[in-house]
Amino acid sequence: MADFYRGGDIYWREGRKKWVGTVHYKDENGKWKPKSKTFTKSKRESKELFVKWKAELNLKAIATGKTQDTSISNGKTVEQRVREYLAFLESEVTMGKMEQSTLTNKTVNAERYIFTEPIARKQYASVNKRDVEEWIIGLRNRGLSNSTIKTPYSTLRQTYMKDLETGLISATPFQFMKSPAKDSHTINYANDKALTQLRTLLDSLWEKRRGDVNLTSYYLALYLGLRGEEIAGLQWKHVTFSKNGSLGTITIRQAVARNNGKPYLKTTKTESSVRELPNLANVEKILLDRRRVVCAQNDIDEPEPDWFVVGERDKFRNPDNTSRAFWRLMKKHEIKGSDGKYLTMHGLRDTFATLIVQDNIVDIKSLSKLMGHSKASTTMNLYVGYGDDEVKEKAIKGLASAIESRIMNYDTETYKAMEERRFHKYLEKEFPDGIPSEWWSQYDETIQKKYSDKWREIDERLGK
């Protein structure tokens, strides 16, 4: 059912020195009419009041039976009906049932991949399964992936399903049809070499710029597996530090999302994304350094609870800026992930999960809760291969140990390989006509004797 009061926005009324909102509705003769209301001098406040006013108008219209004609017996096309469905979703956003960014994404995809296709001009009530299949084939012929097709497909299917539920239609062309399968997802995590390069780089930069906003974000993504949007939405009230032997915590409750390219603060991606993580020593040290910088910059003893950890006081930082800065840093230092591409911010989250799986630190279900996934199958499909506070602590501690171990092992193997190459060059120089076979029997013994002290030191550091 489409809203009775449609569209509209607020505009500045110079004569009244206030913001005014206007919506439109159809009168008894089917003609569009405007309805206006004056709000305040504050644009933000007026915008909020306008949205509330419009929602109240439509709720009152529903209660009194004033609704736009959405019957499909009058020959509406697919485009007309989908546009009405999208208009209905505006009220869902107003009532908090849907994120504005989700509606914007649906609208943009409908404009691109439904309204530009032949199916948009077909009579809505006469569309059959074959029409839908031909539409999907047409999109694939345009070079679109299943992941791209999935959103407009879902929007069109939901339009028919809603009409089926409300009795406007008796059948849907989507019956017995499967949604386009998701394209295989390839993760780009930091392998041992990239992990060593990354940690060496971050640690050296941290020594020069302790508490830096970007570096703090990078460490949180690597050591906690947080999404960039979650890091951007983290406020000091969500962070506690260790006290009297008790661990501090980091609570993830919100994230910075994008609506038509513009960032805004929202609750986390899903209900399962709300989670509490242990603030262990390696992460706590980073956050304490960050807090000291914030306090020094603002000449205060403690940051305000509502200030953002990696933002500017009470203003959050656009996560896209952090992601771009990280990518440029990786490109500058030629640090590439497992698939040969430059490591990304999300690649740090992938690294966190992959190392936990590979080193068998916790089980998949526990890792799923740690990552904030709604289903363990999501984690399984992405990283194949959480629980109570004890398990969380084990995972975070184990991850830190896994990173250190891999870096040490990589350093050790690189060192050994370097010394072996050096020894080969020595033998080739000594024996230009070929290395006598008896020398090979002394090879391992000679290398081991010459560098045994160094190797023993490394093994001790690794706890072997």
d(CA 144, CA 136): 10
Provide φ and ψ at 8, rounded to 5°: 90, 165
Q: Give the dihedral of Cα atoms 237, 242, 246, 249; nearest 10 deg.
A: 40
Pairing state between β 275-279 and 262-267: unpaired
d(CA 235, CA 208): 25
Between CA 189 and CA 195, with CA 192 as vertex, the angle to 5 degrees is 65
d(CA 99, CA 270): 11
Residue 107: what pLDDT?
A: 93
Residue 464: what pLDDT?
A: 47
pLDDT tens-digit series, residues 389-438: 555 666 777 777 777 777 777 777 676 666 666 666 766 777 777 766 66
C-alpha closest to that of 241 among 266, 214, 278, 275: 278
Go through the domains of the chain in sequence order and give each one's CATH number.
6-165 (no CATH), 192-385 (1.10.443.10), 402-462 (no CATH)
What is the token pair recorded at 193? 């070499």
Q: Which residues of the chain have pLDDT under 50?
A: 1, 70, 73, 384-388, 451, 462, 464
Burial 360-386 (b: 16+ CB within 10 A, else e): ebbebbbbbbbbbbeebeebbebbeeb
Strand partners, 19: 12
d(CA 138, CA 119): 10
d(CA 375, CA 289): 35
Inter-residue contact 242 to 280 (CB < 8 Å)? no
Put the strands of the sheet holding 18-26 in their side by side order: 6-13, 18-26, 32-38
Greatest alpha-carbon pair distance for the chain in Å reads 105
How many Cβ atoms are within 10 Å of 398's Cβ, its own excluded? 17
Residue 456: what pLDDT?
A: 57
d(CA 6, CA 25): 6
Residue 393: what pLDDT?
A: 67
Residue 54: what pLDDT?
A: 84
pLDDT tens-digit series, residues 51-101: 888 888 877 776 666 655 545 545 789 999 999 999 888 877 876 678 888
Residue 385: what pLDDT?
A: 41
Residue 118: what pLDDT?
A: 95
